[in-house]
Amino acid sequence: MPQVKRSTISEIKSKVYAVDIFCGAGGLTNGLEKAGIDVLLGVDIDPACRFPYSYNNNAEFLLKSVEDLQVQDIEGVLPKEGIRLLAGCAPCQTFSKYNRKADQSDKRWWLLLEFLRLVRGVAPELVTMENVPELKKKNVFKDFVRELEDQGYHVSHSIVNCAEYGIPQERKRLVLLASKFGPIEILSPSVLGERIKTVREAIGDLPPLVAGEVHEEDPLHQCASLSELNLRRIRASRPGGTWRDWDEELITNCHKKASGKTYPGVYGRMSWDEPAPTITTQFFGYGNGRFGHPEQDRAISLREGAIFQTFPRDYMFTPPGEPIVKKTVGRLIGNAVPVKLGEVIGRSILHHLDVCKV
């Protein structure tokens, strides 16, 4: 049997292997893989994630709640040689500024501590997580950071604007990185050579659609139909404008009330020469935010939403030939970690290891 070269052994020992908890449709995994990190397993409780995650990525998918996930489930896939990364981007809805009803009685509030339980048991060399900025103020996050530090990790966390990293949407996120090798932090946009990318640059070359149409060559490039009233509304909307620009007869009753006057962003068109607004799980609905196409009289398509989340243009969310359910696919896209943010995290980790000469 031929001897293994030392260089090969060294490469194996310095290679990063990851498990992605709360993996969703695979945004973070896809980005980490683009950076050069070998993701071996993705875990999620949502069955709709299985196809897009497995089809578009090189990792296996495990349908399981993080509350039922055991340390051995993770250790069973991670090799004994190499550097281990545990990623855990817990559901953010309970901490979102748009969720005014959530509190500690929400089961999702404590999922970060379930992730901490797994970190404690696996003791990986590297940890990362991503969530909404509001989480930073919560005691559950402070406890998470404190416990990581007690376990010997160097921890950094910052709120980043995805638009500054070339992700074509205004999306602020809390990103945490932790390492047992030494101080670690996310690389800046200037170091990475990134710049702001506009709606035009992202989707300006896609084939036009009318409301309710499905493109024959790309079934994901489809948009919701509009009622006659909403068609009149979008025709009265200008890029970057609000419903306040409309004639009185087009304004909804709820916006005529004092409580509704503080929501100018709904029923709006995007602007060609600016990044898109934050892509939510409801982005395919014209009335759910500033999700109107800048020029065409329709809401943005599912494919356009995926592009704003920096998924590759050929990323598949449903098996070929199966019906595409907008609500389901919209949820998968809106909940995802933008692929490019995952790549930034991955590149930051590899840069850190290079600096630490690991």
- Catalytic residue annotation: 92
Query: Rounded CA gap, 339 and 34, in Å?
Result: 9
Query: Rounded CA gap, 85 and 349, in Å?
Result: 9
Here the tokens at position 11 are: 């490469």
The H or E element containing residue 31 is helix 27-35
Q: What is the side-by-side strand order in the sheet with 172-179?
A: 60-63, 38-44, 16-21, 83-88, 126-131, 172-179, 154-161
Q: How many CB atoms lie within 10 A of CB 13?
A: 11
Q: How many CB atoms lie within 10 A of CB 162?
A: 26
Residue at token pair 């006057």 = 261
> Which residues touch 45 (CB under 8 Å, ≥6 apart)?
63, 64, 65, 66
Beta pairing class for 38-44 and 60-63: parallel
Closest CA to 67 of 23, 29, 116, 104: 116
